[in-house]
Amino acid sequence: MDKKKIFLEMMNMRHACKLFNEKKIAEDDFEFILEAGRLSPSSFGVEQWKFIVVENQAIKEAIEGAAWNQKQISTCSHLLIILARKDVRSSDAYTQKQLQRWGLSEEGYKGLMGLYKGWVDGRDDHTIEMWSEKQCYIAAANMMSAAAFIGIDSCPIEGFLSDQVDAILGVDTKVFQSAIVIPFGYRANEARGKHRLALNEVVEYLK
């Protein structure tokens, strides 16, 4: 089958699923989804994320209460919460470990650190937290696409109270904050149709 056709079928199949049925996702299928997140690109390769997987029903229900009671959370098979890292300044041990992995010469590492400091260290905490969250959204998109590729539904959710979700999960908020919540499972109802602007409304070529 034409690769482009397969890819677009997956893109059309993925939708924001509002209610899941009882079917559980097989463990190796969910690991495939997580692997798509792990392999995602991130700024400077820092991997500004952590993936929390909730299968416990009581925890799902508590998170649903902190997320406008959106039923897709308590009905899903696996609930993913992507945490964004806050310890991403050049002085943070985590960041240094990540940047040291490239095996650069001392000179090369200094150069990279100089660039990194210029990009990150001068910014305020909120901007840096948003920067980490941006990376989490890339991983989120890849995981939802990977899921759709093997017939698994999902719903990206930012309609939740981050402080409450962090408290429910017992997150160390000096280091992490919840960025996005994504329930995965199998749809209970048919998807509604897609509404998208036409390509010529969202694309501008400069030739």
Ligand X SMILES: Cc1cc2nc3c(=O)[nH]c(=O)nc-3n(C[C@H](O)[C@H](O)[C@H](O)COP(=O)(O)O)c2cc1C
Looking at the Cβ atoms of 12 and 56, the one nearer to ligand X is: 12
71 near ligand X, judged by CB under 6 A: no
Q: Which residues of 3-32 are buried (b: 16+ CB within 10 A; e: fewer)?
A: eeeeeeebeebbbebbbbeeeebeeebbeb
79 near ligand X, judged by CB under 6 A: no
Q: Which span sits near ligand X by CB under 6 A: 33-41, 89-97, 126-134, 155-163? A: 155-163
Residue whose CB is nearest to ligand X in the complex, by number: 159
198 contacts 104 by C-beta, under 8 angstroms: no
Task: Read off φ and ψ for residue 94, nearest 5 degrees.
Answer: -60, -50
Q: Coil, strand, or helix at residue 89? A: coil
- Give me the least distance between CB of 127 and ligand X, in Å please: 18
187 near ligand X, judged by CB under 6 A: no
Question: Could you give the CA distance from residue 199 to residue 43 in angstroms, rounded to a whole number?
Answer: 28
Q: Which of 47, 45, 75, 42 is nearest to 61 (CA)?
A: 75
Q: Which of residues 157-176 bind ligand X (CB under 6 A)?
A: 157-159
Q: Which span sits near ligand X by CB under 6 A: 22-30, 42-50, 79-87, 152-160? A: 152-160
Residues of the shown chain interacting with ligand X in the complex, contacts defined by CB under 6 A: 15-16, 18, 70, 155-159, 194
